[in-house]
Amino acid sequence: MSDFETIIYEKKDSLAYVTLNRPHALNAYNIKMRDELYQVLGAIKDDPEVRVAIFQGAGERAFCAGADLAEFLSAPSPIVARRVRWERDIWGLFLRIAKPLIAALHGYVLGSGIEIALCCDIRLASEDAQFGLPEPGLGIIPAAGGSQTLPRVIGGAKALEILLSGRWIGADEALNLRLVNRLVPRKELIPEAERLAERIARFDPTAVSCAKQAVTRGLDLSLEQGLELEARLGHRLALSAKERAIPHRPL
């Protein structure tokens, strides 16, 4: 799992680290990265040793500067470029992972970069982070779920403003918009992500997974359906408590 070209995948105890690793191109997302990320996400999803995953960008300048423009512009057409990116349902796979995913964001977080971050559950950013969706300026729209995930996180009006105007926003504004959970000094970004991941990883993984699913799946449901989902997950958790040797405390 370690001989990837565009990604570094590491495991330390129960944490997985995914590093987008094309720093010479500001970690731009290319087809190779798509394929390698797909494998890595499968490993995170299926490996019982992994309890929490942290996503980061290599180098000092960027988490990810979006789709690889060299590759994109050399495709026969934007439509072909887009189809190639959809050949693997990487974004569906991202959203099916029932384990907590933490994005540690620094520098440029553009296009696919912001979309990867939006597929994560908790976003920490350093003060140098800059966010933007340049797609409409390139004659395309987001293809990695950003048009759906961004408004779910920051609301429709702000998402539209950012998407339609192509305006980039800095870390403070990202925090105000709740696009990121927290700002931390650059040096503290990874240590803080690790502290958070380690804290989560100490809890019962089935309970953590059910809690994540209750929130993430519930967001797309009515309150009534969401309450049913919560009850189902709670019931399933209680039934499995015995085999997981977790004392079940009735409410």
- Figure out which of the listed residues 18, 110, 122, 159 binds ligand COA, where binding follows CB under 6 A: 110
Q: Is 60 among the catalytic positions?
A: no
Establish if 33 lies at the interface with ligand COA (CB under 6 A).
Answer: no
Question: 140, 78 in Cβ contact below 8 A?
Answer: yes
91 burial level (CB within 10 Å; 0-12, 13-18, 19+)? buried
Q: In angstroms, give the least distance from the CB of 163 to ligand COA.
A: 12
Query: In the annotation, is 115 catalytic?
Result: yes
Binding string, 115-134, against ligand COA, x = CB under 6 A?
-------------------x
Contact yes or no for 25/68 (Cβ under 8 A): yes
Per CB under 6 A, does 57 bind ligand COA?
no
Query: Is there binding between residue 50 and ligand COA (CB under 6 A)?
Result: no
CA distance 227 to 242: 24
- Segment contacting ligand COA by CB under 6 A, of 20-28, 32-40, 97-105, 236-244: 20-28
Distance CA 133, CA 111 (A): 5
**Closer by beta carbon to ligand COA, 115 or else 194:** 115
**103 close to 123: Cβ distance less than 8 angstroms:** yes
CA distance 60 to 251: 48
Neighbouring residues of 10: CB distance < 8 A, sequence distance ≥ 6: 2, 16, 17, 19
* 190 touches ligand COA (CB under 6 A): no
For position 69 contacting ligand COA by CB under 6 A, the verdict is yes
Contact between 26 and ligand COA per CB under 6 A: yes
Q: Which of the following is catalytic: 36, 135, 192, 230?
A: 135
200 binds ligand COA (CB under 6 A): no
In the block, residue with structure tokens 């944490």:
15
| Two structure tokens written together for 170 | 């800095």
CB of 128 to ligand COA, least distance (A): 12
* Residues labelled catalytic: 115, 135
Residues of this chain that bind ligand COA (CB under 6 A): 25-26, 28, 65-70, 108, 110-111, 134-135, 138
